[in-house]
A and B are shown apart, each in its own frame.
Chain A
Amino acid sequence: MNALPLSRLHSVLLKGEFAVTAECGPPRGANEEVVKQKAQLLKGYVDAVNVTDNQTAIVRMSSIAASALLLQIGLEPVMQMVVRDRNRIALQSDLLGAYALGMRNILCLSGDHQAFGSQPDALNVFDIDSTHLIHTVKTMRDEGKDMSGYALDKPPRMFIGAAANPFADPFEYRVVRLAKKIDAGVDFIQTQCIYNMDRFKKWIHLAREEGLTEKAYILGGITPLKSSGMARYMKNKVAGMDVPDEIIKRMDNVEKKKAADEGIKICLETIEELKEINGVSGIHIMAIEWEEKVPEIVKNAGLKN
């Protein structure tokens, strides 16, 4: 891991503090105020804010532009970049531009398939995969070269992140895939939402045994459930999501108007458990269209005062 901080998020992790990141989905429109308002809610409660890149393959304001807006109001973005829509030429170019605009964290992803989005008739790209993107950003940073080997005038120096999903199959391979991403150059990992704590613990145990938690910071993914309907939807409809029946039952067993409170309670319990797990360096809160709950979660979890 790099000894000099590449970003504020990196410096928090270097100090050994329990890091908190959250997510801000850009709007389906050019309204910069929406981005600023959403982000303003998070100010002071998180170390950095992920800005999604056309998530679920729906056209939204670009992650670079929305990240730049976050910088304007003093929040540090984690710019997400998917390989679905851009070939290697565009990805590298946007990476240089993003760094020039002040982005210091990147999250390298494959991206949701366009079949899930609003324009399934689009052509996808997938010229390179997410592991290649990690390797590219790392080579630019540490060797100062683009993918052609050309020496860049002022290479971008990004803190490099990637996703990991301990809940997808095949389970044993999930640690191998993590190792491959770390070998390719990942500095931090944000995981898929954790509801199945047993499985998460098994995964991080294997990662620890491989020495992987020493090589990259792992931030556990948290998504508060708003209702039992949402819990069921996550369980049945969202690919790669593991919501155990006990969680569904807990959400079912409370009055409808108290479901959101129960969701927050579950999420706080998860954070408490994560704090105790060796190898977990922080949390990543993905409060989907519920950003206003992030301050409450952070405060009640005893994080960031």
Chain B
Amino acid sequence: MIVGEQKPVREIIDTIIRYKKLLILGCGTCVKTCFVGGEDEVAALASALRLALKQEDRKIEIEEQTVERQCENEFIQEAANAVARNEAVLSLACGAGVQALAKRFGDTPVLPGVNTTFIGIQQKPGLFTEECQGCGNCVLAVFGGICPITRCSKKLLNGPCGGSQKGRCEINPETECAWQLIIDRLTLLGQHKNLRAYIPPKNWQPSISGGPRKYIREDHII
């Protein structure tokens, strides 16, 4: 899923301060799962903003709505009436959702209420970890299903740096050393050859390094 964190309320207030009628639009998919952008979070943020702005003696009307997915027009459409009633939209979706709204509602300001952080998983309740950088050229088969590009702080492809100690990364003792995990897993899987093999430099062209990416499915183009 795409993981995000809500922006600080103060920062949000600074971006919405000029509007009198605001729609807070949630997204019911990824960001709902990580407790940032679902109905509950929309309601909580709306209350927090109303209270904060009241204390500052400012008047604002806030409308709340959540659609299934802000990254798909089909769902965005459901918010069209609410968008039309308001001066601006505060989106609690990821960056893709914010931009999809901006594309769909060209004359309405769309503001981000969330910092999109990474593609990850919920490792245990309340703990989300980054697992994939969307590099466009998956190498997980070689590394026993553990991504060194995402999970090694130095993106090392040929083994752990000199800072790996007791399975921990040198930059943060709470971070696991990806290479310790790779070595353990490849050993468990009996894939010793992969541990000894020289992994050549990565082709970054399919990544963001090659410029903004597109994926075209001719068979689905109408």
Residues of A within 8 A of B (CB): 84, 88, 110-111, 113, 115-116, 124, 126-132, 135, 147, 163-165, 167-170, 173, 176-177, 179-180, 183-184, 192, 239-240
Contact = CB atoms under 8 A, between A and B. Distances in A.
Given A169-B180, A173-B183, A183-B198, A110 B164 contact: no
A176 B156 CA distance: 15
A115 B173 CA distance: 13
A88 B162 contact: no
A108 B179 CA distance: 20
B195 A176 contact: yes
Given A168-B160, A239-B165, A240-B164, A126 B200 contact: no
A168 B202 CA distance: 25
B162 A176 contact: no
A132 B202 CA distance: 10
Interface of B is mostly: loop
Contacts of B139: none
B154 interface: yes
B165 A169 contact: yes
Contact of B163 (A88, A132, A176, A239): A239
A111 B198 CA distance: 20
Contact of B198 (A84, A128, A184, A239): A184
Given A110-B154, A129-B154, A129-B156, A168 B165 contact: yes
A170 B154 contact: no
**Among A124, A129, A132: residue with most chain B CB under 10 A:** A129
A131 B167 CA distance: 21
B217 interface: no
A84 B201 contact: no
A91 to B, nearest CB: 11
B155 A165 contact: no
B12 to A, nearest CB: 23
Nearest to B156: A129
Closest 5 CB pairs of A and B: A165-B162, A239-B170, A239-B163, A131-B158, A240-B162
B109 interface: no
Given A129-B158, A177-B158, A169 B166 contact: yes
Contact of B159 (A113, A131, A163, A239): A131
B136 to A, nearest CB: 15
Given A131-B159, A167-B162, A239-B165, 10 more contacts: A110-B156, A124-B154, A129-B201, A131-B198, A165-B162, A168-B161, A169-B160, A173-B195, A184-B158, A184-B198
B205 to A, nearest CB: 12
A126 B155 contact: yes
A128 B160 contact: no
B155 A129 contact: yes
Given A116-B171, A168-B162, A135 B155 contact: no
12 contacts: A88-B201, A111-B154, A113-B153, A113-B170, A127-B201, A129-B157, A132-B158, A135-B198, A170-B180, A177-B159, A184-B198, A240-B162
B154 A84 contact: yes
B56 to A, nearest CB: 31
Interface string B126-164: 000000000000000000000000000111111111111
Given A129-B154, A169-B164, A115 B171 contact: yes
A35 B193 CA distance: 45
Contacts of A180: 158-159, 196, 198
Contacts of A128: 201-202
A30 B173 CA distance: 35
B175 to A, nearest CB: 11
B201 A132 contact: yes
Given A113-B170, A163-B162, A240-B162, A126 B196 contact: no
Contacts of A116: 171
A124 B153 CA distance: 10
Contacts of A192: 162
B208 to A, nearest CB: 12
B204 interface: yes
Contacts of B183: 170, 173
Contacts of B200: 132, 135
Nearest to A191: B162
Nearest to B166: A169
Contacts of B155: 126, 129
B159 A168 contact: no
B142 to A, nearest CB: 14
B154 A113 contact: yes
A113 B158 contact: no
Contacts of A167: 162
